[in-house]
Chain A
Amino acid sequence: MVMRQLISVVDDDESVRESLPDLLRELGFAAEAFSSAEEFLASDCLGQTRCLVLDVTMQGMSGPDLLQELTRLRREIPIVFITAHRDEGVRPRLLERGAVECLFKPFSDTALLEALNAALRVSRPVTEK
C-alpha cells in the first residue's frame, strides 16, 4: 500500500470543499478540506500536507495571509491558489510571493493535475531531477 500524498483544500465555499477532495482522491491523492485558514492552521494536517490548494478571497484570514503566515512559520508547503475573481493582476503577484500556480475557477482537472505535479516537483529534492 503506497502512502498517498496529502493535498489540503482551504476554501470558504462549501461546494468546493465537497467536490475538490473527491477529484483529488480520484487523481490518486489523499485529500482534506478546511473552511478557513485558521481551521487549517489549527489542524494536525499542517505537517503532512504536501500541497495546499488555497482560495484567495475568504472571510477572516485570506489566502495570501495564510501564505505569509506559513512563510513566517517556515512551513514551506507548495501552494496552488484558486479564485473565482478573474483578475489577471493577481496571478503574477501571487507567483512572485512564492505560489506555485494560481487557477481561475472554473478550472479543468488536467489544469489542476499539472499544477499539483508542479507543486510536488518543487517539494522534491533537486537530486530527483
Chain B
Amino acid sequence: MKVSNKFLLACEGVMTKKTRTFMLALGVSVGTAALVFLVSIIFGAKAYVDNTVGTIRENLLVVKPTERNSTPGKPLNPTAYLTIQQNIGTVKGIYREFPIQPRPSILVRSFEPSLKEGEPIPAMDLGALVEVVGVDVGLFNERHPEFKYNHVEPVDKSKAAFAPSKEDYVPIIISKTFVDLMNTLAGGNNPFVEEFRKYIKEGQTFFIALDDDKAYRCKIVSEDNSATPYSVSVPYQYAEEWQKEQKPNDPMPNYSRFVVEANDIRDLDTIKEDILLAGYQPDPTPEQKLSISVSRGATYLFAVAVTFCLIIALVSSIGIFNGLSISIMEQAPRIGILRSVGATRSDISSIYLIEAAIIGVVGCLIGIVAAHLFMWGSDIALKDFLADVTNLRGIETLFVWDFPKVLYIRLGAIGLGVFASLFAGVGPAYRASRLNPAVVLRAG
C-alpha cells in the first residue's frame, strides 16, 4: 500500500474523531509548551550568567611555577616568558606574581549612599586613605600605564550604583592586593601608611574613590585578620624593576607563578595548549574557578530541565497511549472493515502510527505557538511590573531569543513531541494490527 494512501486513511481516521484528536493534541501541546518554556528560560538564565561571569577577568590563565616535566622548584628560564609572549599572538599580557606575606586587611561592610551621582566630593572628606592611594598608585601608573589595578570591588556591582532614596547598604571589601600594594609601595615605612592605619578602626567613616565620578562613603566595621597568603601580579617586563624598587631587601624568588591574560576569552583553550607545549602547566584562576563553578551550576540546571522535559514527554506519552488505546477499541469495527477489504497487519499499524504522528505534530505546533505567546507576554510583564516585584530590574528578557537557538529549541521540541507520540502509538498500533477482523466485525 502506498504511503500516501496510508496517510490519507490516517487523516480520515483523525477527522472522524475530531474531539478526541483535539484533546490528545492538547495534551501534547501542553507538554511541548512547557518544554519550550523551560528550555528557553534555562538558556536565557545561562546567557545572563555567562555575560555576568564574563566580566570578572575570566581571561586570565595562571601558570604554575614549575616546569611540567622537571623537578618541582627548578627556576624558570626567564626567556621562556618572552618566548610564550612572542609565540602566542592572542596573549594580551604576561604578569609575574610575587608571593606576599599575609598582612592584616580591612573589611568594609557598610555603605552609606548619601552622595548623588556626579556630586563633587569634598577633598577633605576623601581622607588620607584616598590620598595615599592616589599618590602612590598614580605615580606607578604614570610610569607604567598598562599596569592597572582594581583596588576596591563592590561585592554586588549591580547594587553599587548610587541610590540615595533607598536605605540600602552594600557590603564592600577592600581587596587584599590594595592593602598589600599600599604597604609594599610604601616599603612599610611610608608615613601615609601610618596615617592610613589611623583609619583602620571600627566605626570610622571615609570615602573611597572608584573612578572619576563615583565615590563611596564607607564605614569600617571590622578588621579582617585572616592570614591568607596572596600575591601581587606585575607585568613580566617590569617585574625586575618593580622588585628592585619596591622590595629591595626581598630576594627575587627562584621561581614564581605567572599570569597570562588573553585578549579574547575564546582563545583561552588555544593558549592553554601552547603553554602546555612550552612545558608549563596552566592553572585556573579564582575567577575561572568561579566561572567553572557557575558553568557547572548552569549545566546542573540544564540537566534538571532535561529531566523535566523527559518526564513531560513521558506523561504526554502515557496520555497519548491511553487516548489511542481507547480510540482503537472504539474503532475496532473500522479496523475489521479495513482488514476485510485488504489491509495487512502492517498497513493497520502504519495507519495508526501515522495518526499518532499527526497528533504529535499538531500538538507540537499548537504548543510552540502557545509557548511563544506566553514567553512574549512574560517579557512584556517583566518590563512593565515584574521587575519591581521580582528584583529582576535591568534584565531585558528571561528567555533566549537568539535565532539559531530559538530554531533548535523548537525543532527539538517538535522532534521530542513526535517521538513521544510515536512511542506512545507503537503499543496501540500493534494491538490494532493484531485484532481478529472476524471477531471485531461480529462484535460491531
Q: Do A and B interact? A: no
